[in-house]
Amino acid sequence: MKTTSRANPLSYLSEQLDDLKAKGTHFRLRVLDDEQAAVCTFDGKKVINLASNNYLGLTTHPKLREAALEATRRYGVGSGAVRTIAGTMKIHMELEEKIARFKNVEACVVFQSGFAANAGTVSAILGKDDFIVSDQLNHASIIDGARLSRAKVLVFRHKDIAHAEEQLASVRDAPGKKLLITDGVFSMDGDIGPLPALCGLAEKYGAIMMVDDAHASGVLGRNGRGTVDHFNVHGRVDVQVGTLSKAIGALGGYVCGTRDLIDFLYHRARPFLFSTSHPPSVAATCIAAFDVLQDEPERIEKLWENTRFWKKELALLGFDIGGRSTPSSETPITPIIIGDGKLTMDFSRELFKEGILATGITFPTVPEGKARIRTIVTATHTTEELQQALEVLARVGKRIGIIGN
């Protein structure tokens, strides 16, 4: 058969990839050969894993594993439909009721991911005549949700309360609804959103207050209840988003709020309406995870103990772990700021060769000139593993000139 020859219409993508290669920021995916754990095997190499969001080690917890297997045996592997058609199983409802009780709110809805929860919620509750006042470093899923809503977006400088107030005041007399939105924990710097002050602003200007607690779920607050609990601003945040994909160890995102907010999202949130619900095994896993948060608080204590040790030792070695040119981390997310994108990727590659997985993060995920290695320690890293990782970081850091000798 004769094929007609024509120019490849996607050749511009190859050109852009060549640009990335020239800049040194092109990457290949690292592939995990075994379980997501503190020490595991990527691309055939055993490494100390400083890159996952598996804060509490729940990805391999025996109770969660057993819950997933049991649910698969009883209910099969898939839900077969979107929630509003035939894909709402009893186990989905059970998980939502469990989360609502845990967070002490009226109701909860679970989405396929945290990304879907944010994008689906922001785009559903606001329209083109409304305003979104959003922290400059908020997560991509909030930004995409804001775009989909067609509301006017007013960005305020990172954690700058005065600037947030200026933005709210500028639309005070406009008829549209206002949403004030922040990440609970910022995913690239590890600092915590200023919830009490933002809640005060939302109250003063009659705005809806929304928090994305993806990196705070299972990490901050009593038993990992999140930033609302951490700051004791119960009842002052209208929309709380959390993830089931990080500390909870499985997959999903959830929205907590009033019964009517959740009922409205059932009717208008597009990922809920147009994308199939979780397999029963995922819901069962998450139910078991919330039991573990209640029953094994020592996991969170160990996470914070490791975090304090890690930050102290990295700073002693002379690494810039934020606070100089970037916000100061207050959580287990500890960036090592390098600045240059290529140097960052080189550092990451050299670390991997010596048995450390620590991902380099460059523009556009972080601003140009703020490239970094992002490290996350978990509750399951032993002190010996952390010490070994520090030894490698120091050696490689000196060799390529990131820290002095």
Ligand X SMILES: *Cc1c(COP(=O)(O)O)cnc(C)c1O
Reply yes or no on whether 215 is catalytic: yes
Cβ 218 to ligand X shortest distance, Å:
12
Candidate residues 133, 198, 214, 402; the one interacting with ligand X per rule CB under 6 A: 214
Q: Between 178 and 215, whose beta carbon lies closer to ligand X?
A: 215
Does residue 212 belong to the site contacting ligand X (CB under 6 A)?
A: yes
Q: Between 130 and 183, whose beta carbon lies closer to ligand X?
A: 183
Cβ 211 to ligand X shortest distance, Å:
10
Does residue 115 belong to the site contacting ligand X (CB under 6 A)?
A: yes
Judged by CB under 6 A, the stretch of 4-12, 29-37, 122-130, 209-217 that binds ligand X is: 209-217
Helices 114-125 and 140-149: angle between axes, nearest 10 degrees: 30
As given in the structure block, the two tokens for residue 157 are 């400088």
Site for ligand X in 253-272 (CB under 6 A): 253
Does residue 218 belong to the site contacting ligand X (CB under 6 A)?
A: no
Q: How many whole angstroms separate alpha carbon 333 and alpha carbon 240?
A: 21
How many Å from the N-terminal Cα to the C-terminal Cα in the chain?
Answer: 66
Q: Which of 141, 187, 281, 329 is catalytic?
A: 187
Query: Which amino acid makes up residue 271?
Result: P
Q: How many whole angstroms separate alpha carbon 115 and alpha carbon 139?
A: 9
Which contacts of 308-315 are long-range, i.e. CB under 8 A and separated by 24 or more positions?
309/383, 309/386, 310/334, 310/375, 310/377, 310/386, 313/386, 313/390, 314/375, 314/390, 314/393
8 Å CB contact between 307 and 379: no
Judged by CB under 6 A, the stretch of 4-12, 108-116, 170-178, 296-304 that binds ligand X is: 108-116
Cβ 142 to ligand X shortest distance, Å:
7
As given in the structure block, the two tokens for residue 365 are 């995920």
Site for ligand X in 47-106 (CB under 6 A): none
Judged by CB under 6 A, the stretch of 125-133, 211-219, 262-270, 388-396 that binds ligand X is: 211-219
Cβ 141 to ligand X shortest distance, Å:
5
Does residue 141 belong to the site contacting ligand X (CB under 6 A)?
A: yes
Reply yes or no on whether 234 is catalytic: no
Cβ 89 to ligand X shortest distance, Å:
20
Does residue 187 belong to the site contacting ligand X (CB under 6 A)?
A: yes
Cβ 252 to ligand X shortest distance, Å:
6
Does residue 243 belong to the site contacting ligand X (CB under 6 A)?
A: yes
Collapsed DSSP state (helix, strand, coil) of residue 330: coil
Reply yes or no on whether 246 is catalytic: yes
> By C-alpha distance, which of 52, 54, 38, 32 is closest to 248?
54
Does residue 113 belong to the site contacting ligand X (CB under 6 A)?
A: yes
Candidate residues 96, 135, 165, 183; the one interacting with ligand X per rule CB under 6 A: 183
Strand order through the sheet with 131-135: 107-111, 253-257, 239-243, 208-212, 178-183, 131-135, 152-156
Which contacts of 92-95 are long-range, i.e. CB under 8 A and separated by 24 or more positions?
92/277, 92/278, 92/280, 92/283, 94/283, 94/287, 95/283, 95/286, 95/287
Q: How many whole angstroms separate alpha carbon 140 and alpha carbon 367?
A: 13
Site for ligand X in 295-354 (CB under 6 A): none
- Known catalytic residues are 187, 215, 246
For binding to ligand X (CB under 6 A), which residues are involved? 113-115, 118, 139, 141, 183, 187, 212, 214-215, 243, 245, 253
